[in-house]
Every structure is written in structure tokens, then in C-alpha cells.
Amino acid sequence: MRWPFSPDVPPGAHGLMKMIKEKSTKKRPEVRLKMSDYRASQDELWKTARQAANPMDIGPHSTRLLRAWIAMGVGRMETEGRLSPENLAIAENNLKHFIQLMKTEAVFLGHTDQLDKDCFHAAHRRLEGHSRVSQFTLWPFWPNDFVMNN
């Protein structure tokens, strides 16, 4: 006798799983497409950040900070409905500008081989200083606050 159930699904759950699968199939492709665009945009921006940091390395704490910053920026792009290639190019240029600020701060801090969390925070403070005296923006990353339009 062949066992009709997979080992990780308890007996009797297949009918439920089939029902759930049937209910959710209509919405899933749309969600998958959005998630893949979201993830692809994050990956593209991370690649841009690594290239802009060259020849310096990005330290582990700074990696987490930058990845979170990129995720926040892509989330903002998605919220504003601006995930087009043109808007991604704007985000890439602004990210390169921020990485350049980090590299400048690294020199001032004496960190010649790695962009670490101190470089990130120093560049972030510099952005705050710029925004106090002018309408400075590094969309979608800066300013941090934004208004959602419904």
C-alpha cells in the first residue's frame, strides 16, 4: 500500500490544503510579481551600493544598516507607485551619492579600508545637517519621513 500523504503534512490536511490552494491561486501571481519586483529592486540597489563602495569593503554592521535603508527606500518607491526603471535609476544615483558621503566620512574617521557603522552614522548626520539649511533630498532614502497618499 502506498502512503498518499507527504511526511510533513498530517493526515486529513490535504483537503484543507487543497481548499486553501484553490482560494489563494487567484491572488498569488499578483503578489508574487510585486514581491519579485520588490526583491529585484533591493538586489539591484545593493549591487549598486557595493560597486559604489569599491575599493573599500562594507563592514557587517554597515551592511545591515544599508540593506535596511535600501529596503525602506524600495518600500517607499512601492508605496508611491514608482518602481519604474527611471525611478530606480534616480534611487541608484542617490544611493551612490550617500555611499560617497560615507567614503568621505571614512577618511575623516581614519577608516581607510572599510565603511563601517560609524561611517554610516556620520554620513546620516551630514544629511541631517544639509536638510536643516536647504530642501535636500536623496529620494527615496532621505528624508526618512514621508506622507502616504491614499
Picking from 14-18, 46-50, 90-94, 130-134, which range would have the lowest pLDDT averaged per residue?
14-18
Q: What is the mean pLDDT of residues 59-69?
A: 94
Q: What is the pLDDT of residue 34?
A: 55
Picking from 9-18, 72-81, 110-119, which range would have the lowest pLDDT averaged per residue?
9-18
Angle value at C-alpha 30, between 77 and 146, nearest 5 degrees: 20
| 0.75 surpassed by pTM | no
Confidence of residue 64 (pLDDT cuts 50, 70, 90): very high
Q: What is the pLDDT of residue 135?
A: 59
Picking from 45-49, 106-110, 115-119, 142-146, which range would have the lowest pLDDT averaged per residue?
142-146
Per-residue three-class SS string for the chain: CCCCCCCCCCCCHHHHHHHHHHHHCCCHHHHHHHHHHHHHHHHHHHHHHHHHHCCCEECHHHHHHHHHHHHHHHHHHHHCCCCCHHHHHHHHHHHHHHHHHHHHHHHHHCCCCEECHHHHHHHHHHHHHHHHHCCCCECCCECCCCCCCC
Q: What is the pLDDT of residue 87?
A: 87
Q: What is the pLDDT of residue 70?
A: 92
Contacts (Cβ under 8 Å, ≥6 apart) of 78: 34, 37, 38
* Pairwise pLDDT comparison (99 vs 38), residue with the higher score: 99
Q: Where are the domains of the chain?
A: 37-133
| Residue in this structure with the C-alpha cell 536647504, named with its chain if needed | 134
Q: What is the pLDDT of residue 67?
A: 95
For 79-136, how does the pLDDT look when each residue is reduced to its tens digit (9 = 90+)? Answer: 888 888 888 898 999 899 999 999 999 999 998 899 999 999 999 899 888 767 665 5
